[in-house]
Structure 1
Amino acid sequence: MKRIITILITLISINLANAQFNENNALYSTAELNLGNYLGFDISLNYLYQDKYSFKIGYTGNIRKPRSQPEDFTSGLKGLLFYGLANPYDQLENYHIGVGKIYNLNQSGTIRANISIGLGYTLIREPENWERLYNGFLAENYTWNYRKHNTVSLVINPKIEFPFTRFFGLTISPMLQINKDRTYLGIGIGNMLGSLRKRIN
């Protein structure tokens, strides 16, 4: 599902960058790296109407060191070879939609605030049932299994957008995801690609 969303957003953005788009609309993708109580990324497809209102659909994927991980856990040689990518992680994924209001912060339209709020379908995977092994230094010294569940989140995502050209820009994006099980709080920095704003004469 993540791969399909990424391919779809990329294809739409490439097509829009080479096409004339209605002066009352803008359609673009954003890709951001997130840093907060989890580490991850966010991708989204964004639609603007008359430079006043916004709608977005997106995906956020985040990980962190497991809160349940034993202090003496080691991934052994496998962890060294794969730079820790084979390690267990607390995982927080979110498919979300949002609506918002656009506020231009300068006359040229190169700085704007996109204040968005919405709902997300959140998937949580966390390792549990750690059992000690005695395999030596070169192997993992614990086994575990993942506990999986899902929930609905409130997603608050104000963005400061910098559409420097009609087709490319940068973003700074605080994000808060709240649900009954976990809370994500972080900030993202990334880029915008697509039809970002009206032609400047």
Structure 2
Amino acid sequence: MTNSWLITKRRILLFSLILSFNSIKAQFAEYNAIYYSDGLNFGNYIGVDLNLNYVYKEKYSFKIGYVHNSRKPKSQPDDYSSGLANALLFGTTNPHDLMENYQIAFGKIYSLNENRTIRINFSVGLGYTVIKEPDNWQKIEYESLVAENYDWNYEKRNTVSLIINPKIEFPFTTVYGLSISPMVQINKDRTYFGIGVGQMIGLLRKKKN
């Protein structure tokens, strides 16, 4: 009798915990959304954008993210050649102007339709910016078709950027969506401007009642 009663109590307790967990989960999803987003950027630089997003009541947003952008060096000599060896590596070791941002941002969300499948997430934030650019180009006296015809070194500096990033988001379902996002990154050394196309995966919005 005692063992049977203990087993029954455990089952009741387990059932209660499951109900409580589902209730907490439902309450969390009612007011909160957490999702991952990424995208490709196209502008005066080209790069990628990776973010973790939090949305409260489908009205306010918070984001932490990383942006990696690159372009052909502005300082690159006109007669620079990467050589045959680098061409076989698809240019992966070519010099680039690089601009990386580790960012945090806050935003306000405006829904554009009744189904809440189109919205604007107007986001503004700050980024810790790392800029790396090739410098000190030195022509190699004995050129080779295989190797680069210049030696060069990267110059690196850090700064802080203002990041303006309004996104048009399309959370087609509660767990997946797409986005289009103009972006401007402004700092004392460089400015990035362009547009991104990306995806969103996670808990995007609550289900329509």
Q: In 2, distance between residues paired with 1:113 and 1:136?
A: 53
Aligned counterpart in structure 2 of residue 120 of structure 1, from 118, 123, 127: 127
For residues 83-138 of structure 1, what are the alpha-carbon distances to aligned partners after superposition, in whole Å with 9 as ceiling and x for unaligned? 11110000000000000100000000000000000100000000000000123212
What stretches of structure 2 of length at least 5 have no aligned partner? 1-24
Equivalence for 2:150: 142
Identity level (%): 62
Give the whole-Å Cα distance in 1 for the aligned partners of 2:178 and 2:89. Answer: 32
Q: Match for residue 10 of structure 1?
A: none
More helix by share: 2
Q: Which of the numbers 18, 33, 37 marks the counterpart of 1:26?
A: 33
Deviation of 1:198 after TM superposition, in Å, equals 0.5
Q: Which residue is equivalent to 1:185? A: 193
How much does 1:78 deviate?
A: 2.0
Is 1:98 aligned to residue 105 of structure 2?
A: yes
- Once superposed, which parts of structure 1, at least 4 consecutive aligned residues long, lie more than 2 Å away? 19-22
CA contact (8 A) 1:78 1:86 kept: no
Aligned to 1:12: none
- How far apart are the structure 2 equivalents of 1:104 and 1:152? 31
Q: Pick one of 62, 73, 76 that aligns with 2:80.
A: 73
Q: What is the distance in 1 between the residues matched to 2:89 and 2:178?
A: 32
Residues 20-59 of structure 1: pairs in structure 2 closer than 5 A: 21-59=28-66
Shift of 1:79: 2.0
Normalising by the residue count of structure 1, what TM-score does the alignment of the two structures yield? 0.89
Q: Secondary structure at the match of 2:87?
A: helix
- Count of matched residue positions in the alignment of Structure 1 and Structure 2: 183
Paired AA for residue 188 in structure 1:
G
Of 157, 172, 182, the residue aligned with 2:165 is 157
Larger C-alpha radius of gyration, 1 or 2?
2
Any stretches of 5+ residues in structure 1 without a counterpart? Answer: 1-18
SS in 2 for 1:23: helix
Which secondary structure state, in structure 1, belongs to the residue aligned with residue 30 of structure 2?
A: coil
1:35 is paired with a residue whose SS is strand
